[in-house]
Amino acid sequence: MLNIAKLINLDKPFILASQSPRRQKLLHQLGFEFEVIPADIDEDDFSDGVDPVEHVKELSLKKAEYIAKKIGKPAIVLGSDTIVVLNGTILNKPVDKKDAIRMLNTLSGKTHIVYTGIALVDAEMMKKKVAVQKTEVSFRTLSQNEIEAYAGTGSPLDKAGAYGIQDDFGAVFVSHINGCYYNIVGLPLELLYSTMKEFLMELKGIKR
């Protein structure tokens, strides 16, 4: 497998500040070696009317900085957050089956936007770099039977907007997308690669 760390000059341990199995799988897909240290941050801490781009940037950075300050060792920490937005309203993870059904009914037959923020923090110097990816996702009109059957599996409960597009029945809800597929899964890979490559180059140019 390609040695991605060598390719982009990643010469420090890499830490993912998230317990998301989907983000871990995507990082493995790129060939990254990393440690998982979830950040104990309230992901639902936002105010009504908050700008979604600023929300994912702020929360991603909070996660990365929380772990960077906690570990006490050299490392590059990745924090990330994904939200679903419909008509300006943020749909986070549903609190229960009933909430998942409500969200899916709301998304049915409409186009929503998925935002994912990524934040990279160097734990030694506390230097940081933040970026955001946007993808438009259109749902076909869903039947109540489909919605309730899917919600009954429990799968939507750990996903923003109450659905997953990968390895999941939620994939058949999506008629088409405009933008990065991996962004919907939870980690935009091209954006991560490009941002990390640029960040590491910037760090090399910093005089200590």
Report CA 33 to chain centroid distance, whole Å: 18
Q: Report the C-alpha gap between 159 and 183 in whole angstroms.
A: 13
CA dist 124 and 58 (Å) reads 20
The sign of the dihedral angle between the CA atoms of 169, 173, 175, 177 is negative
Cα 78 to chain center, whole Å?
A: 10
Catalytic residue check, 81 = yes
Q: What is the DSSP letter of 30?
A: H
Point out the catalytic residue in the list 40, 48, 51, 81.
81
Q: Are 108 and 139 in contact (CB under 8 A)?
A: yes
Structure tokens at 23: 């983000």
With vertex at residue 11, the alpha carbon angle to CA 5 and CA 17, rounded to the nearest 5 degrees, is 75
Answer for the pair 5, 26: CB distance below 8 angstroms, yes or no. Answer: no
Q: What is the DSSP code (8-state) at residue 41?
A: -
> What pairs with residue 116 in β-bridges?
82, 133
Q: Which residues are catalytic?
A: 81
